[in-house]
């Protein structure tokens, strides 16, 4: 039984993709046309119902195309996410985190112990997280978490399409902070766990009172030398940033930050109009003493590209992430504003056709698999929080994403 689904899956997907590649003349290297890899996870039918407690089990991956297989081995798995976890508990398709005993490479991605599995439940296109990573790869950000599409089998039950990939965490193959650096997430107090250690930024709490700067790595104690070092450094940076001489090239903000990383992070999040990236959560930056503050990595794009009904990011018009307190102040410097404009034009506006083709590429690649996914979960044509619109067919979902993004790029080109 273990490989029955795989055989059927490869027959269905392989035949359809062969026909599609002949008709569309898709470049295999730029746009894969093979079947999706299949991930088998077995927990001996023990449910995965906690974000805190791991469940023991095994994992095996049947590769496809140039994505290699992984022999069966032990691992642990638990739930992950915030709104995505709540949605998963409601609908049944949950997001997960897998942890290996030793660092392990997966599907061509560099080895590490922890891997995320994104369910993509509210994103009916199944593409938003993927295209956001594409936008990030088109930038000069130092690290962009990689993701690969897979079909998941959990305890011999098909779960449809997932994205498996790297975490936003410090590691030799991820965010490089060395022995002395810090990885910080700007988050909100309601999402803080008891073991988290954080400090407050007046610039952010003035705009969003629940804002906290959560020190993700390393593990620190309140009041320790390292804790005070990062807190004082951020306060010193903000003091300069909001001073009258903030744009002085010798003593101003440029002495504290890697400006290109701020521009790249801003553009990826502003183009996608990511609802959380203004002040709320998943805003990552790193700092290594002796170096400059670097924004990134980009993260969490379920509620982006118009897929949110409770705030302005539903609409392609209007700035959003530009109201982030740091970014808003940086735009007071005409030189910074011009650098943003230049990079937007060269990296995104001039490559709009390429970006939209990437969406078509992803949609073509997973087309047969999405049919299986929606046969399992039945969410097409039904509102899943927080969809502002929903459609009866997968192609309509893809068309909406493309139309929204194209309009967004046009609006930014006119208004930046």
- pLDDT at residue 12 above 50? no
State the residue for tokens 């002796």.
290
- Does the pTM exceed 0.95? no
Q: What average pLDDT score do residues 373-392 get?
A: 97
Residue pair 188/212 in contact (Cβ under 8 Å)? The answer is yes
Rg of the Cα atoms in the chain: 22
In a domain, residue 49? The reply is yes
- The verdict on residue 267 lying in a domain is no
Judge whether 345 lies within some domain: no
Given a cut of 80, is residue 372 above it in pLDDT? yes
Domains in the chain, number: 1
CA–CA distance, 71 with 69 (Å, rounded to integer): 7
Instruction: Reply yes or no on whether the pLDDT at 319 is more than 90.
Output: yes
Cα distance between residue 413 and residue 416, in whole Å: 6
Residue 31's pLDDT band (cuts 50, 70, 90) = confident
Residues in Cβ contact with 130 at an 8 Å cutoff, skipping those fewer than 6 apart:
147, 149, 163, 362
Is residue 132 a part of any domain in this protein? Answer: yes
Between 339 and 23, the higher pLDDT residue:
339
Quote the crossing angle between the two packed helices 334-347 and 259-272, to the nearest 10°. 60
- Please tell me the distance from the alpha carbon of residue 79 to that of residue 375, in angstroms, as a whole number: 23
The yes-or-no verdict on residue 387 having pLDDT over 60 is: yes
Q: Which helix (H) or strand (E) holds 105?
A: strand 96-106
- The answer to whether residue 22 is domain-embedded is yes
Q: What is the pLDDT of residues 358-367, one digit of tens each?
A: 999 999 999 9
Q: Domain span at residue 91?
A: 4-165
50 vs 94: CA distance, rounded Å = 11
Mean pLDDT value of segment 368-389: 97
Question: Does a structural domain hold residue 318?
Answer: no
Termini Cα distance of the chain: 56
Residue 17 clears pLDDT 90, i.e. is over it: no
Give dist(CA 131, CA 382) in Å, integer. 23
- 147-154 and 38-42 as β-strands: parallel, antiparallel, unpaired? parallel
Q: How confident is the model at residue 162 (pLDDT cuts 50, 70, 90)?
A: very high
**14 Rama class: left (phi>0) / alpha (psi -120 to 50) / beta:** alpha
CA dist 117 and 41 (Å) reads 12
Instruction: Find the largest Cα–Cα distance for the chain.
Output: 69
The answer to whether the beta carbons of residues 406 and 413 sit under 8 Å apart is no
Residue 350 has pLDDT above 90, yes or no: yes
**Residue 64 scores a pLDDT above 70:** yes
CB 40 within 8 A of CB 61: yes
d(CA 305, CA 106): 28
120, part of any domain: yes
Query: Does some domain include residue 61?
Result: yes
């Amino acid at each position: 039984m273990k490989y029955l689904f795989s055989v059927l899956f490869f027959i269905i997907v392989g035949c359809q993709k062969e026909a599609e590649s002949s008709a569309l003349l898709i470049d295999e290297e730029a746009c894969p046309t093979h079947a999706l890899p299949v991930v088998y996870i077995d927990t001996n039918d023990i449910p995965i119902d906690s974000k805190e407690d791991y469940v023991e089990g095994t994992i095996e991956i049947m590769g496809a195309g140039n994505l290699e297989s992984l022999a069966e081995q032990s691992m642990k798995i638990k739930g992950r996410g915030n709104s995505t976890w709540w949605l998963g508990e409601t609908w049944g398709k949950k997001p997960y985190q897998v942890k290996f005993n030793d660092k392990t490479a997966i599907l061509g991605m560099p080895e590490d112990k922890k891997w995320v599995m994104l369910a993509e439940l509210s994103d009916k296109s199944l593409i938003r997280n993927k295209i956001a990573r594409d936008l990030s790869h088109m930038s000069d950000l130092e690290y962009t978490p990689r993701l690969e599409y897979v079909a998941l089998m959990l305890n011999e039950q098909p779960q449809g399409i997932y994205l498996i990939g790297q975490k936003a965490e410090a590691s030799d193959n991820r965010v490089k902070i060395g022995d002395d650096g810090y990885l910080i997430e700007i988050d909100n107090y309601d999402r803080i766990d008891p073991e988290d250690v954080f400090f407050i930024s007046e610039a952010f709490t003035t705009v969003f009172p629940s804002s906290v700067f959560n020190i993700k790595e390393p593990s620190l104690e309140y009041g320790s030398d390292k804790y005070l070092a990062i807190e004082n450094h951020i306060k010193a940076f903000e003091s300069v940033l909001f001073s009258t001489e903030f744009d002085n090239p010798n003593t101003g903000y440029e002495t504290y930050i890697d400006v290109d990383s701020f521009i790249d992070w801003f553009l990826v999040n502003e183009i996608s109009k990511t609802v959380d990236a203004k002040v709320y959560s998943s805003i990552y930056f790193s700092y290594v003493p002796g170096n400059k503050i670097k924004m990134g990595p980009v993260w969490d794009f379920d509620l982006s590209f118009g897929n949110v009904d409770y705030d302005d990011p539903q609409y392609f018009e209007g700035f959003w992430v530009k109201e982030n307190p740091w970014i808003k102040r940086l735009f007071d410097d005409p030189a910074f504003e011009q650098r943003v404009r230049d990079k937007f034009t060269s990296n995104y506006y001039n490559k709009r056709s390429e970006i939209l083709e990437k969406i078509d590429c992803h949609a073509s690649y997973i087309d047969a698999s999405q049919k299986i996914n929606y046969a399992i979960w039945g969410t097409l044509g039904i509102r899943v929080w927080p969809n502002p619109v929903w459609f009866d067919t997968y192609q309509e979902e893809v068309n909406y994403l493309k139309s929204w993004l194209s309009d967004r790029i046009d609006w930014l080109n006119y208004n930046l």
